[in-house]
Structure 1
Amino acid sequence: MFGVSNWLIAATMALATAIYWISKALYMQLRFRGLPQPPKHSWIWAHTTIWEETAAKLPPFTHPQHVYTYLAQKYNMPGIFYVDMWPFVESQVVITDPDAAQLVLTTNPYPKHPTIEKFLRPFTGPDSIAASNGERWKYNHRMVGSGFTPTYVKPMAGMIAEQVLIFHERLKGFAESGEPFSMEEEAAKTVFDVIGKVVFGFSLEAQTTGSPLLEDLRASINPATTFISTRNPWKKRKAEKGLQALRDRVRKTLADEMNERLRVLQDEKELPSRRQVKSVLDRIVLDRIQSGPGATLDDAFIDTAVTNLKALLLGGHGTTTDTFTWVAMLLSLYPDVVARLREEHDAHFSPDLDTTVQLLVANPAATNDLAFTNAVIKETLRFFPIGFTIRQAPPGVTHLTWNGRRWPVKNLMVVPCAHSTHMDPGVWGQDSKSFRPDRFLGDEARDTHRFAWRPFERGPRACIAQDLAMDELRIMMLLTVRWFDFETVVGGGGGTSERVMYMDLDGRVGDLAFQMVGMEARPRHDMKMKVKLREGK
């Protein structure tokens, strides 16, 4: 009797579960009926079949923004369309139209989706500035944001140039050896030394003696591909377990530095003002001291600060590192662009390296005159936007009104996909697949929709370090392009046949044209390159 009862209970539970799943699947079918979406929407598999088919056309571990762009152009999707991935992940409303994107980014800024926090937590810790919302985000932004304002960043040009000089010398060494090297790894060391100066007030010596902190941080983000690409909970658990020791070590390094700065500042006869301190870390500690007498750095405060410092170090070095790597790759393919860059640099700066650096120290605003250099960076970021955001509808919001229609957004991932906008011929013209920096100059640039180019996103949640990143990139180009020729080492399989309609770079560099999923949309295979020192340099 007891056995029969157990059997009935189990059967009832199984039936109830089956009814729930079938009902949910039918609900999703009905919910998406009449909405723009890719074909092959199955009531069992939803859009996972067409998603997997599309992903299979691309190199392994390609960032999902390329899948959205492919679907948008292959199936002629409008500026808002839907991708149903339930029950595997939450279903999505994808936004590619710049006007529609503006609605969710600035007009009524949608908060970050919990998926961002879930993904970043193993690497940065909970509630980082990149993932938090509401009052927590405001607190995080007050803690670290002021260290990246244009007035604070611009005078750093001389400091950036000093670090790039070391990079310049390292490139000379690679030119002499003729051996291929990882441009991503070398650029990362340079950028990390810069971000170290911004955050801590001193170089982390990643380019010279080596930085254990950089090694730990880069090791800690290596499992990011596993977290995103696998549905195997055991693989994710194994990756998570391997992160713990790294997290503990990074926390101790940052906490020790914070306590040392607390001791130094408390020993000062007169506390400096916020404007006088020279690092983000000192601003954090100074605010703590001024919060009340006998202030200490308790564990909760340290945890919050460490989480945000890690987010800055990872995001700050990743964005610039990846973009310079893409710049170098593109310059290896477009000698006419290189010639124009050299002409512009010669017109505004001395042909002598040391004199150029001295001018940057004396006049940090001198890089503002490099219009074509800026255009090359912008065009690179159009092809390879680093950031990727997922939002959710605010409480009480069920629909988005755009183009005379109400679009459901409740209980969906809201994906304003910058890459899809960047590659859209309807936004950028029929040559949108071509690398053409001139689109960011003159009248053409002025006539472009301000939300058409969004590599750092727009609105209050835009990347706080974008001004620093752009200055770093201009200076890195200024101190390298006139001295070196870049050569991309194409490898890693996949051939060089064109496989997508939205760009033709894969016909020249194969798999390297497709950003790889990670903490950000990053270069593939560490981007192996060679450099040659120009004659007479």
Structure 2
Amino acid sequence: MHVQSKAPKDLHPQAQMTMLQRLYKLGDMFTVDTWPLMDQMYLVANPKLAHQVSQDSSPFPKHPMITRFLKPLTGYNSVLAANDAKWKELRSLFAPGFSNAHLMTMVPLMVEKTEVFCDLLSEYAAKHELFSMEPMAARLTIDIIGIVVLGVDFKSLTRRDELVEAFRHLLDLLPNGQTLDINPVTHYLRRKYANTMDNYIRRVLRDRAANGANKKFRTLMDIAIERYEQLPNGSLFDCGFEQLAVDNLKTFVFAGHDTSSTTLSNIYHLLSKHPEVLAKVIEEHDQVLGKDTAAIGQLIRDQPSIINKLPYTTAVIRETLRLYPASGSLRMAPKDTTFHPDKAPAVTVPKGSLIWVGIHTIHHDAEFFPCPDEFHPERFMTAKTITLADGRTEAVTAGWNGHAPPADAYRPFEKGPRMCIGSEMAMIEIRVVLAMTLRRFRFESAYAEYRRRHPDEVEAAGGRTEAFGDEAYQVFSSTAKPKSGVPMYVYTKE
């Protein structure tokens, strides 16, 4: 592929699609054929067409390839891959555990784990030691999701945990779509680590059945079990439910930690490069949270909803998710379907075709986001509220330089009924961590130093160190991760 001569060899496929579209001016929709590694796919690169796929009255179902990819990690019952009635049942079972009202009750626990994270940052600052932020942030977010979902404190920030170790090993063994998945040793190791995770979660479920729910707080597991037991013949001892619960609790550990850890890492990188944006964030935190940083943890514990009163911080998070979205949504055409791109002839897609909603490509299109490769949180600052004809009110985005993102162009968690079930948790969690770290520590992105120490990585990437003008370009590592995990130095502020 010609793209690979223009970009780092390890650039994530979704970013390669964006580069491919730019190089060849491919327009709103184009075909990509990498057989036998993957099925032929149609990449959608326009908000209107993406709406047709995921937001119309009959959105396209998830493609079976998702199950093939995730099965080693999440089994056959994951809400991420399910369709039709099964998906609706799973969504209704687990969605209440991700409501804003419930998540607010979990904020004090997020604060507790973030305090441990701050202790580790202090240790790195004292040693002036280069480290990769994403793996460390992932340990934090896994600890948080463990408490929120299972009521289990993995303590992976300070020790090794059986489930977390199996989980991390399994992530490294997932198919990558770039090589044939035929190694029998890999398949054996996947089963081994998947069984370790299954047995761990079964023990938690059975302990809960024997001893009752945690009296201090309700977990997502508690809420799902309560809803299930209200169904006719519903029982925690139903073997079918146990496997369903195991598969989805694994799903939430996988999906629930990843977006938060990668986004936090990317934010620290971007703020290191944009001190003018960092200054605005600090000013907002001083105004809303007070200047006593030693008291911030207790303040958020006492007033969890205060974390929702940080509009500029939220804009920074949203702009970071625009630049570095999770991998796009893979859907299947339920019937022969005709699309009408704005800049090309109509395209009829055969039934069963793989359709990739190119979120990265849409997010990096200058038509929808001027200067798309630049970091401008002001794109997402709300200017005012307007009253619609039917009496409803709606927030109007001022945008950056007068350019507000068009409808349906911004979709980091996808849109429509299949929008990420954990999006609210990710936003709350990231705000908590930023509020507790940005005024206490100074973060310095250190890619140049990392490359000096690891010239082999530069060589493996074809000697190229940036994509879209950015050193923290996305690579494939089970999901879309920042290159080298964002190497950093951290300093304690006086």
Q: Same fold (TM over 0.5)?
A: yes
**Among 328, 331, 334, the residue aligned to 2:271:** 331
Letter in 2 for 1:234: I
Once the two structures are TM-superposed, the CA of residue 132 in structure 1 deviates from its matched residue by 1.2
Match of 1:161 among 86, 111, 136: 111
User: Equivalent residue for 1:350?
Assistant: 290
* Secondary structure class of the residue paired with 2:240: helix
Distance 2:421 2:2 in 1: 37
Residues 162-217 of structure 1: CA deviation (Å, up to 9, x unaligned) = 21111111101100001112211211121112111211234222223443221211
User: Does 2:10 match 1:68?
Assistant: no
Q: CA deviation at 1:262?
A: 1.2
Amino acid at match of 2:77: D
Three-state SS of the structure 2 residue aligned to 1:205 is: coil
Alignment of 1:281 with 2:226, yes or no, is no
Partner of 2:260: 320
Q: Where in structure 2 are the equivalents of 1:87-236 lying within 5 Å?
A: 88-107=37-56, 108-224=58-174, 226-231=175-180, 233-235=181-183
Give the 3 Å change call, closer, same or farther, for CA 305–56 of structure 1 in structure 2.
Answer: farther
The alpha carbon displacement at 1:277 in A equals 6.8
* Comparing 238-247 and 397-406, the one that deviates more: 397-406
After TM superposition, give the deviation of residue 495 of structure 1 in Å.
Answer: 8.8
Counterpart Cα distance in 1 of 2:309 and 2:241: 42
Alpha-carbon spacing, 1:94–1:303, altered in 2? closer, same or farther (3 Å): same
Deviates more, 1:101-110 or 1:281-290: 281-290
Does the 8 Å contact 1:265/1:286 carry over to 2?
Answer: no
Which structure: greater strand fraction?
2
Kept in 2, the 8 Å contact 1:387–1:456? The answer is: no
- How far off its partner does 1:433 sit? 1.7
- CA change 1:214–1:450 in 2 (3 A) is farther
Aligned residue in 2 for 1:473? 430
- Aligned residue pairs total 464
Identify if the C-alpha distance between structure 1 residues 277 and 337 changes in structure 2 by more than 3 Å, giving closer, same or farther: closer
| Structure with greater contact order relative to length (CA < 8 Å, sep ≥ 6) | 2
TM-score scaled by structure 1?
Answer: 0.81
Could you say what secondary structure the match of 1:82 adopts? strand
The Cα shift of 1:265 comes to 3.2
Counterpart of 1:255 in structure 2 is 202
TM-score by length of 2: 0.88
Counterpart of 2:30 in structure 1 is: 81
Q: In structure 1, what is the Cα distance between the partners aligned to 2:105 and 2:407?
A: 27
In structure 2, the CA distance between the partners of 1:92 and 1:234, relative to structure 1 (3 Å rule), is closer
Q: 355, 358, 361: which one pairs with 1:414?
A: 355
Which consecutive residues of structure 1, in runs of 5 or more, have no partner in the other structure? 1-51
Aligned to 2:442, the other structure's residue is in SS state: strand
> CA-to-partner distance for each residue in 1:248-289, whole Å, 9 max, x for gaps?
1111110011011112239x9xxx9xxx97111112333444
Is the 1:277–1:283 contact (alpha carbons within 8 Å) kept by the matching residues of 2? no
Q: 1:294–1:58: structure 2 CA closer, same or farther, 3 Å change rule?
A: closer
Q: Distance in 2 between matches of 1:239 and 1:294?
A: 37
The structure-2 alpha-carbon separation of the partners of 1:331 and 1:280, relative to structure 1 and needing over 3 Å to count, comes to same
Greater share of residues in helix: 1
Asked if structure 1 preserves the Cα contact closer than 8 Å seen for 2:332 and 2:354, the reply is: yes
In structure 2, the CA distance between the partners of 1:296 and 1:451, relative to structure 1 (3 Å rule), is: closer
Preserved contact between residue 37 and residue 177 of structure 2 (Cα < 8 Å): no
Q: Given residue 90 of structure 1, which amino acid in structure 2 is its aligned partner?
A: D
Post-superposition CA distance 1:323-364 (Å, at most 9, x none): 111111112211222122111111111222342222212222
Contact kept? 1:262, 1:285, Cα under 8 Å: no
Secondary structure of 1:435's counterpart equals coil
Q: Is the 8 A contact 1:382 1:422 kept in 2?
A: yes
Task: Return the offset for 1:496.
Answer: 8.5
Percent sequence identity over aligned pairs: 29
The alignment's C-alpha RMSD in Å is 2.4
Contact 1:375/1:440 (8 A) holds in 2 = yes
Corresponding residue for 1:246?
Answer: 193
CA separation of 1:280 and 1:239: change in aligned 2, threshold 3 A: same
Q: Which amino acid aligns with 1:476?
A: V
Change (3 A) 1:265 1:292: farther
